[in-house]
Structure 1
Amino acid sequence: MFLFLLIAMVVVVAAVTLAVIGGGDSDSTVLPDVPPEQLVDPLPITRPVTRADIEAVRIPVAPRGYRMADVDDILARLGAEVAERDARIAELESALAGAQAAAVAGPDLFEKRGEEQDG
């Protein structure tokens, strides 16, 4: 009985091995070579990144997780976008603060300048 199970196991292993490697015929393989997935970058270049753009990002899986270069590229793009937005927010906040200061102190300053020019 043991010998029969051993022979059956060898036959099954040999059949699976031949099925995977194609049985020696190199033209018709059961498992054809598939090119690795490439990152399709949905992040727009011509407009600011939106939440939908970030949700649409799908990083292809590599044999041991994700490709570090793809992840680094996406993080660099998002970091640049955040830095650009931070700079724009700071610029707008300073412009707003300047406009508010001018609105609070504006009428008195303009009247004094006008009186100095007349005298």
Structure 2
Amino acid sequence: MIWVFGIVIVLVLGGVAAVAAGRGEPMSEAYDDRPDALVPADRPLTAADLRSVRFSVALRGYRMSEVDALLARLGAELEAAREVADPPPAEEHDAPCP
């Protein structure tokens, strides 16, 4: 008699698991609910763009990939701005002094 109850319990638990799993259908794709760190890609960043950036929070802080991407872009834009603002000095030729 105990075996019958054991088999019934296993069948009931298996049925509950099948229903909970979606009756054999694959799980739907996960929805990524993280907010996007939106910055304009078609123009240089402004101070207002940087003030409005919000990174999504991960388990131990911010998502490193988002922060790294923004820092890499800021570094490249700063280098480009410095090259335009401060062109390299012209080479001095060895001309005789009068």
Cα drift, residue 67 of structure 1: 1.2
Structure of larger gyration radius:
1
Shift of residue 40, structure 1, vs aligned partner = 3.1
CA distance in 1, matches of 2:35, 2:54: 10
Q: How does 1:17-96 map to 2 (within 5 A)?
A: 26=20, 35-42=32-39, 44-91=40-87
Query: What is the letter of the counterpart of residue 78 of structure 1?
Result: L
Supply the RMSD in Å over aligned alpha carbons.
Answer: 2.8
CA spacing shift, 1:48–1:35, aligned 2, 3 Å: closer
Q: What is the deviation of 1:38?
A: 4.8
Structure 2, unaligned runs of 5 or more: 1-16, 22-29, 90-98
Q: Distance in 2 between matches of 1:47 and 1:68?
A: 24
Shift in CA distance, 64/36, structure 1 to aligned 2, threshold 3 Å: farther
Write out the 4+ residue segments of structure 1 that deviate beyond 6 Å after TM superposition. none
The number of residues matched between the two structures is 64
Shift of 1:39: 2.9
Aligned-pair identity (%):
38
Which ranges of structure 1 fall in alignment gaps of 5 or more residues? 1-23, 28-32, 95-119
Say which structure is richer in helix.
Answer: 1
Structure 1 residues 75 and 39: alpha-carbon distance in aligned structure 2, compared to 1, 3 A threshold: same
**Structure 1 residues 54-105: Cα deviation after superposition (integer angstroms, max 9, x where no partner):** 11111100122111111100100111111111111113x97xxxxxxxxxxx
Distance 1:60 1:37 in 2: 6
Given the two structures, how large is their TM-score scaled by the length of structure 1?
Answer: 0.44
